[in-house]
Structure 1
Amino acid sequence: MTGHALPTWQPSAWAKTLTHSGDWRLALHDDVVTVTVGGVATEAGLEACALVDVARGLFWSQLTLQVGEQVMRLRGIGRADAASFESAFTVARESLQLRQLIAEFAVAAGQATLWVQSFTAALTRHLRTRGWLTTEFGAEWAARKAAVGFSHLLDDPNLQAHIAAQPLDVAGTIALWSEDALATIARENQRHLEAETEQCREFFDTVERSPLTTEQIRAVVCFDNRMLVVAAAGSGKTSTMVAKAGYALHRNLIAADKIVMLAFNSAAAKELQQRTRERLGPLGLDAEQVVARTFHAFGLDIIGQATGKKPSLAPWLENDGIAQLGLIIDRLRATDVVFRSEWDFFRAVLARDYPDDDGVTSETSEGFRTSQGETVKSPGERMIADWLFFNGVEYVYEKAYEFETADAEHGQYHPDFYYPAINAYHEHWALDAPGESPFDGYLDGMAWKQKVHRTNGTSLLETTKFELWGGSALTNLGRQLTERGIRLQPDADRLAAGQTPVENALLLKTFRSFLAHAKSNCLSDEQLSVRLTEQAQGPVRYRDASFLRLFTAIRREWDAQLAADDCIDFEDMLTLAAEHLEAGDWVSPYELVMVDEFQDASFARARLARALVAQPGRYLFAVGDDWQSINRFAGADLSVMTGFQSWFGPSDVMRLERTFRFPQSIADVSSAFVLQNPSQIAKTVVSSTREFVPTIGIVTMDSETAVAAGIRHRLKLLRDQVASGELPGAPGRKLSVLVLGRYQFQHKYVSGCGDLADRLDVRFSTIHASKGAEADYVVIVGMVNGKYGFPSTIPNDPVLRLAMPAAEVFPRAEERRLFYVALTRARRGVLLVTIDKHESRFLMELIRDQGIVRTNTIGEVLESVVCPKCGRAFMVPRSSKRGPFLGCRRYPRCKGTLAIDGSPSVPAVKPVGEPRKAFTPYRRHR
């Protein structure tokens, strides 16, 4: 470096001579780097320069410097001068960067101040005019904040001293900016809730017959864009919906004609409409303009508005179109030989060939039971045997081969099937693909068997597992049998050993449910085929592929019938309405969309609801209870509710956990029962209702024929208590009794109770139909095991998984929810009716886990120790050489045991309180 006034660097004369560096000069002044080489100067600002490298030698160094777009290598600078330039360059760059940061900070601080002022003003204005600060509001202001780019400057360590020296106004901006906007919004919303609770106290106290609870008030005041209210049974969800609409009108948040309530059936829509007018009209609110519609009726209106032509619903959809579906299948069977053959085989064989929810099939410990009654070794052999039986082909399973084959290495040969009518044998090979078997040595054995037939000149028919599950084996087998003189005579009504073909009604219901889900989820035949490939292998794939072939033909005819009648069905109605909304063919005027019974929403309903609130400034208020989702067969998809936020985006999820219907003991038992399924949304149900001890009891009848008389006896005792005034809380009025059955035919159990009508209002309902109903006392009949028991062992066809987003994995999940619905219809007590030695597994679970006490018809307590091993039967006294013990009544199928004396594992079964001669003698054991 020279001694000039400005800092400059250049090579010395010796360096020029010895390093051949040439004549160059380097200057650094006022954030400008100047390099002069051969008299030509190049200038660039510090921000456009970079010291690429300093290569130090023994005496001299070399600087590699980027100046603008040029890279210059300056040789011959002394080591000390090189270090001096490097230090000066670094200091200058850091000084420049700090000044630039300070300038950037000043600009950003001004923008941040403007954001803080605007945010505060908008927040105040929104609270004053619109009330609740919504997720939409928060997202908008969070995005504006992110665009300012101030936060990273506050965290820069080079600016900390400068930030600490800021004046009070900038420091105030920094403090407000540093607060999380969403936390600020949450705090202001809580203040708003508290203020509204006080200011609207009179409204909240009078809008319904009883003052709203704290939970209900929060759900009413919270006006977020997407809200899901998880409401316990009897928690006042309808009251909350009505109050929500009323509050919107009361505070002038939304005009009455911009509020729509959507329900799932006409009765529910009518109740919402009537309740809204009854409760809001006397308060001077414009309830007449609030609309309550069913999804389907609303969908029709949307299509009409969007297209100018309101479509008609097919008149044959009564009873969900099951009768029409039957006509379509009859027509296809009459006109399509292939369809008839596949339908009949599916109904006779494949429809029953899948496990129930407990995994039970026709598999036994020894193998697989066929329609003819023998036991075979594999599901493939069973499929072939059932097909042969269905087609009237005589066969013998594993008949000894007609020639002696036993030798030192082989036993006597037993081919899989023998056809006596044509003296032919049939081997079904366990090949996963041509030439591939999962078993060691299998191919060698296969070759030996084929050689045996060739050597002896016997006829051999062959199929493989690969061909069977791929769909070609049975077709090829039929051709080979026909060529050899066997006439196939398919008969869907040929009685299988111990079985009958699946009832047409059940099969039609399965196809209708599949149709509803497939159309609701907008799944084409091609998409269903892809799902089949992804989700099904082996025997299930064969069965599901057959189902899909039938379904494709049925859906084609269904849609053709709709087109011929110029009509649409329920699923089309919802899907078309959603499509028109999504395409902008009709812009909904509704700002507040309220959906009742959201646990029963289908994919199509959810899609329609989402489309209705897609525009900014719209509100979705959905109320439901996933514990009461019991309409899967009708297209309901529980994942719509449990996956609410994935459907509708960021949402406020609230709970109504206080019930006004049933006492705490029923709340505890029913909640613990339904929450055995971990997929259900957890909530803690708290009761505000008085206990009428006892609340839950079990009565065991000796036989099915004794059930009606036993129920009448119990209800007569109840009637006598009402008449005598012994039963508290019922002076001068009848008590209601709701007898609930899993099936309609169970109404016969109350046919002899007409003479109790002077004190009791007794009526029967199926549990499905009882949704929304309640009574003082509930009698649940049919708490037995078996096909028509409760839970029902008529399984939902697993093929439905192909048309639904996700299958439930918990066993009998919907039956469990159905039992919860039944339990929670009661205001005072529940009586569960069972039959000795046929107790329902649900009932056994209540005894084991909840301590519910079991009595006989006259109220005597019955010993009820549930087998700790299987949980499906009671323990009974037994004896052995070691002495007496308790053994499972299902022995030898279950070998569970308990010691009688001194064993802490034997639970004490004792009633709580004194036995009563009234309705339900015992409450749950605490």
Structure 2
Amino acid sequence: MTTSWTPSGWRTFVTRTAVWSAEILGDDLVITYDGSAKRLPLLSLGPARARTGMMSSSVRWGDPPSLTLRGLSRRDARHLRDTVDGERERVLDRIRLAQLIDEFDELAASVRNWARGFFAGAKAHLAGSGWLTREFTAEWQQARPEDKRGTLSVRLQLTEHRAGQAGDILEALDLWSADLAAYVAQWNERFLAREIQVNRRFFDSVERSPLTVEQARAVVCFDNRVQLIASAGSGKTSTMIAKAGYAVRRGIVPAEQILMLAFNSRAAAELRGRVTERLSPLGLASDKIVAQTFHSFGLAVIGQATGRKPSVAPWVEQTGGDTEKLARIVDVLRDADRGFRTEWDLFRLVFGRDLPEFGQEEADPDGWDGANRREGFRTLGGQVVRSQGERLIADWLFYNGVDYIYEGRYEVDTVDASHSQYQPDFFYPTISVYHEHFALDRNGRPPEEFEGYLEGVIWKRATHAENGTTLIETTMADLWEGDAFGYLTDQLTSRGISLDPNPDRPTVGQPPIESERLIATFRSFMVHAKGNQLSDEQLLERVRAGSSDRFRFRHEMFLRLYCAIRQEWERELTRHDCIDFEDMLNLAADHVESGRWRSPFRLVMVDEMQDASYARARLARALVNRPGRYLFAVGDDWQSINRFAGADLSVMTGFEDWFGPGEVLRLERTFRCPQSICDVSSRFIAKNPLQLRKRVVSSTTEYRSSVRAIAAASDNDVPGVISKHLADLNDRIAAGATPPGRGGRVSVFILGRYRHQEGFMPPSSALRKWTHLDVRFSTIHAAKGLEADYVIIPGLTRDKSAFPSRTADDPVLRLAMPTGEPFPHAEERRLFYVALTRARRSVTLVTVRHRESKFLVELVKEQGIRMTLAGGGASRVIHCAGCADGLMVPRSGAYGRFYGCSNFPKCKQTMKEAAAQADPS
């Protein structure tokens, strides 16, 4: 169609329009009137509007119209409108494209400069560690030129211009558009492969055995934060030594700027010895590398920052010295402060257990009343009461020497069609007063599921009113809020009963908490509270802010005792001009964080990170909280067993939250345990879904019966079972049936959950006869980091010295400790894992028949571990079908022998003796 327009003759006549013509020339619309032309830039016109009429149509621009062309046909008007608008957009597109190209070129130049800087920095890293760190990546990610308008995105109109750019521009644009973190990861992977190959000779000779690929990777990886999750026996110490040597050899970090921090003095000494032994022959400055415990390092920091190196309290440096000191402090306070003595005794005897949740007073009974054939809760006085609240009251009465009758017959006959004979909870015969303890909240309401309970309360009150007998009442709300015992004191003493508090009154029932255990609880609480820098006021605020009323009164009582103990502890520290470990770690962290002590260390390596407390983690973080610093944290959350001593597992499992993003590597190949032990122990620990995942693979020889269990007939038979097992082992080595170990002897650990289990050690006369054995006892905690050819774990039973321990952490510790773990026996499970993984050849688990540990039962039931009787033959384990947790054990009753659940009275499942003997389990 034409690109020029003019009105038709008859339309100009009808509309009386002057003759005109219009055409598009270049970027202008040219309009001619009477031979005179006027050029209008298309960009000045704006959008056109076509107006159609019956006789004539027009095209207008502007509102109000600044230009109108009349006398057109409808078709020509639309054509003029569309053509001018289209040409106008073409001009706009050309201008936009020119602007885009200018903007593109400017941004591309910035991107090229950015890319040049990135590559120059990467090459500089190659000359150093070679590893592109998170710090480096974050720096260049932040410096990455912004493209707010999307100019550098792949646009169709810029395709030709982009394709014509120089090679360096295109390369820079590719880098700019890539995921920088992924690009850096690929760069590091290529560097890693080359570096391992180039340094193969060093990696093969720096330790006694060549490093594995996993170990070499951990050595070469020099990100700012590296977490190495190391399986038991996977050579983590070798990796740390090799990394220090590699850093010095490659010139990444000078020897004097390398710090190794260990959890205890034994580990620190091992690190120092291995550094000297392995790096000195290679000509590396091993003597300049610092390997210390957190404690000794912290003391040095304080001394250098203040000019006065403090002394550590001698009682915290001695094993058990801290609890002995705390016991003496408690004795002093009990002698000097009658109020403290009363609260201490009351807490130990009466409040040793936490109160149940509302409506759960009768849950988990632990006693059986044979005379009345009912379950319940055993008191200090030997009775079995129905609820935990009643036990608390009964224990308080026992402590105060108050004579009472539990659930005796009411003095009036109450039997009718609706009620049996009334038996009030407590009756005080010397004053003829009855006492009911009701499961009511502060609003006088029972738990919703207690149907008819409130009616019973009303009936009991009415019964006393009708018969003129005296009733006093307590409720669960009274116990929670701490009002119950003040009320009882007033009610009983005002009626003539004299309270006679006596903590030494002989108990015939449930024993109270031992003073030693309670002191250990206070010491553990103090370690966590001081380590986490929680003041007495902050702890009290935590209690008040707690959502559970049932804890408040007991926890407030605990805190009153703790505050007095802590104040005396601090006075003792001041009197001896010394500090404890928690003070030391926090003071050291304060000096580093504030800059009063400037760390010379660029590479900080932390061993056993799973045992780090809040204070240790804080100090480690402060040491690397500057650019160009490297943290290499080695540990295994599966072996975190020191929560009682302040360990915070979240330092390991929440590593990034503590220290920032970094590499997470694993050592999954073990040089200690055979694969069968690896599989059993890994499946066992992995039952807890919160443990970090890993697949442990063994490089060691497999031995027959690597995990076995033996059931002794009784506790008294256990030492004999162990001695026979050791004698048989000695004989097999002497006969050549079992290969000897290093130096012709094999090492054997007898590992106890408790220190008193050292009594399972054979007599020295027997040990001397077994010339092929080196037998030692250790607690499992003390054996952490050690190994032996053979491991024996006795005491796998369900009793007072059970494994898993039946003594759970006191809930009050949650006020000061890291968040508890929801998985049952989580730390005990890790402790058992540590015990299993000390063995290079085999593990023997020793139990007592019919009292097998939950852990052992799990291994038998779920992993097929074979259990034999000490005298020979298979030992069958019959699982309780009722609770799925207990074992069916032989019992005697009025009708002869039968089998009942080991969790009785909590579970009353039974089976006939014949059925038990026929059970295929």
8 Å contact kept, 2:741–2:789: no
CA distance in 2, matches of 1:311, 1:273: 24
- Out of 628, 643, 649, the residue aligned to residue 638 of structure 1 is 649
Pairs aligned (count): 853
Aligned residue in 1 for 2:399: 390
Amino acid at match of 2:254: A
CA deviation vs aligned residue, 1:308-345 (integer Å, no higher than 9, x gap): 22222122223251112112211222222222211101
SS at match of 2:151: helix
Deviates more, 1:721-730 or 1:333-342: 721-730
Partner Cα distance (2:110, 2:156) in 1: 21
Distance in 2 between residues matched to 1:898 and 1:613, nearest whole Å? 66
> For residues 528-559 of structure 1, what are the alpha-carbon distances to aligned partners after superposition, in whole Å with 9 as ceiling and x for unaligned?
23433454525444333322222222222222
Residue 523 to residue 252, structure 1, CA distance change in 2 (3 Å): same
1:417 aligns with 2:416: no
How well do the aligned residues superpose, as a CA RMSD in angstroms?
Answer: 4.0
Separation (CA, whole Å) in 1 of partners of 2:903 and 2:386: 27
TM-score with structure 1 setting the length: 0.83
Per the alignment, residue 464 of structure 1 pairs with 475
**Displacement of 1:796:** 2.0
Whether the aligned pair in 1 keeps the contact of 2:378 and 2:509 (CA below 8 Å) is: no
The aligned runs of 1:520-531 (5 Å cut-off) are: 520-531=531-542
Task: Give the distance between the partners of 2:300 and 2:798, measured in 1 at CA.
Answer: 46
Shift of residue 138 of structure 1? Answer: 0.9
1:894 to 909, 912, 921: 909
Contact 1:406–1:412 (CA<8 Å) still a contact in 2?
yes
Q: Work out whether 1:572 is the aligned partner of 2:572.
A: no
Equivalent residue in structure 2 for 1:582, among 570, 593, 596? 593
Q: Where does residue 676 of structure 2 map in the other structure?
A: 665
Secondary structure, counterpart of 1:148 in structure 2: coil
Match of 1:322 in 2: 323
Contact 1:898 1:906 (8 Å CA) reproduced: no
| Equivalent AA in structure 1 for residue 324 of structure 2 | A
Deviation, 1:262, is 0.5
The answer to whether 1:802 aligns with 2:815 is: yes
In 2, Cα distance between equivalents of 1:355 and 1:681: 33
The alpha-carbon distance between structure 1 residues 744 and 442, as it changes in their structure 2 partners (threshold 3 A), is closer
Question: Secondary structure in 2 aligned to 1:769?
Answer: helix
- What residue number does 2:105 align with? 106
Counterpart in 2 of 1:654? 665
Letter in structure 2 aligned against 1:386: D
**Would the alpha carbon gap of residues 86 and 652 (structure 1) be closer, same or farther in structure 2, given more than 3 Å must change?**
same
Summarize deviations over 1:107-127 as a string: whole Å, max 9, x none. 211111111121122112211
Equivalences for residues 369-380 of structure 1 within 5 A: 369-380=378-389
Offset of 1:460 from its aligned partner?
3.6
Range moving further from structure 2, 513-522 or 81-90: 81-90
The alignment status of 1:816 with 2:829, answered yes or no, reads yes
Change (3 A) 1:853 1:415: closer
Q: Residue 707 of structure 2 is aligned with which of 656, 678, 696? A: 696
Counterparts of 2:353 and 2:706, CA distance in 1 = 40
The 3 A distance-change label for structure 1 pair 646 and 471 is same
Instruction: Check conservation: 1:228, 1:623, Cα contact below 8 A.
Output: yes
Unaligned segments of structure 2, at least 5 residues: 6-25, 29-41, 70-76, 358-362, 369-373, 892-897
Q: 1:583 to 1:161 in 2, by over 3 A?
A: same
Q: For residues 87 and 628 of structure 1, do their structure 2 counterparts lie closer, same or farther at Cα, with a shift above 3 Å needed? A: same
Out of 112-121 and 525-534, give the one that drifted further: 525-534
Instruction: Kindly state the Cα deviation for residue 348 of structure 1 after the two structures are TM-superposed.
Output: 0.9
Q: Which amino acid aligns with 2:642?
A: N
The one of 579, 604, 611 aligned to 2:615: 604
Amino acid at match of 2:776: R
Superposition map of 1:171-186 within 5 A: 171-186=170-185
Partner of 1:305: 304
How many Å apart are 1:721 and its aligned residue? 2.0
Contact 1:791 1:841 in 2 (8 A): yes
After TM superposition, give the deviation of residue 466 of structure 1 in Å: 2.4
Identify the residue that residue 72 of structure 2 maps to in structure 1.
Answer: none
Aligned to 1:142: 141
Equivalent residues of 2:521, 2:810 under 8 A apart: yes
Question: Counterparts in 2 of 1:356-755, with a 5 A limit?
Answer: 362=366, 366-403=375-412, 414-438=423-447, 446=457, 449-450=460-461, 453=464, 457-535=468-546, 537-728=548-739, 730=741, 733-752=744-763, 753-755=766-768
- The answer for the alignment partner of 1:349 in structure 2 is 350
Distance (Å, rounded) in 2 between the aligned partners of 1:305 and 1:575: 15
- The code of the aligned residue for 1:222 comes to C
Residue pairs, 1:14-93, within 5 angstroms = 74=64
Aligned partner of 2:857: which letter?
M
Residue 36 of structure 2 corresponds to: none
The C-alpha deviation readout for 1:700-733, integer Å capped at 9, x for no partner, is 2222222222222222222122222232355961
1:825 corresponds to 2:838: yes
1:869-888 superposed matches below 5 A: none
**1:350 counterpart SS class:** coil
Contact 1:353–1:361 (Cα < 8 Å) also in 2: no
- 1:200 and 1:161 map into 2 onto residues whose CA distance is 46
Please give the per-residue CA displacement for 1:346-380, whole angstroms capped at 9, x wherever unaligned: 11122245799xx9564777544433344444433
Cα distance in 1 for partners of 2:878, 2:497 equals 58
CA contact (8 A) 1:228 1:622 kept: yes
**TM-score normalised over the length of structure 2:** 0.84
Paired position in structure 2 for 1:340: 341
What one-letter code is carried by the residue in structure 1 that aligns with 2:801?
Y
SS of equivalent residue, structure 2 residue 799: coil
Matched, 1:167 2:157: no
Amino acid at match of 1:807: G
CA contact (8 A) 1:98 1:158 kept: no
Structure 2 distance, partners of 1:64, 1:847, is 92
Post-superposition offset of 1:604 = 0.8
Q: Are residues 1:788 and 2:801 paired? A: yes
2:12 is matched with which residue? none
The verdict on how the C-alpha distance between 1:899 and 1:258 changes in structure 2, with shifts beyond 3 A counting, is farther
Following superposition, the deviation at residue 283 of structure 1 comes to 0.5
TM-aligned CA deviation for residue 612 of structure 1: 0.6
Q: Residue in 2 aligned with 1:280? A: 279
CA contact (8 A) 2:803 2:855 kept: yes
CA contact (8 A) 1:109 1:150 kept: no
- How far is 1:208 from its partner? 0.7
2:291 and 2:61 map into 1 onto residues whose CA distance is 79
Residue of 831, 835, 838 corresponding to 2:851 = 838
Secondary structure of the residue aligned to 2:196 is: helix
Which whole-Å deviations, capped at 9, do the CAs of 1:836-889 have from their partners, x for residues lacking one?
Answer: 2222222222222222222233554444565566566667999xxxxxx99978
Equivalent position amino acid for 1:605 in 2: R
* Same amino acid, percent of matched pairs: 51
Q: Distance in 1 between matches of 2:65 and 2:911?
A: 94
In structure 2, the residue matched to 1:773 is 786
CA distance in structure 1 between the partners assigned to 2:635 and 2:337 by the alignment = 45
Aligned AA for 1:198? Q
- For residues 387 and 901 of structure 2, the distance between their equivalents in structure 1, rounded to whole angstroms, comes to 31
Measure, in 2, the Cα distance between the counterparts of 1:417 and 1:731: 69
Cα pair 1:101 1:159 within 8 Å, conserved: no
Return closer, same or farther for 1:896/1:607 CA change in 2, 3 Å cut-off.
Answer: farther
SS in 1 for 2:633: strand
SS of structure 2 residue aligned to 1:614: coil
Residues 1:751 and 1:512: Cα distance change in structure 2 (over 3 Å): same
What CA distance in whole angstroms lies between the structure 2 residues aligned with 1:825 and 1:185? 39
Amino acid at match of 1:385: A
Determine helix, strand or coil for the equivalent of 2:632.
Answer: strand
State whether residues 433 and 470 of structure 2, in contact with CA within 8 Å, keep that contact through their aligned partners in structure 1. Answer: yes
Segments of 5+ residues of structure 1 without an aligned counterpart are: 6-28, 32-44, 66-72, 879-884, 908-926
CA deviation after TM superposition for structure 1 residue 807, in Å: 0.2
Q: Which residue of 2 aligns with 1:219?
A: 218
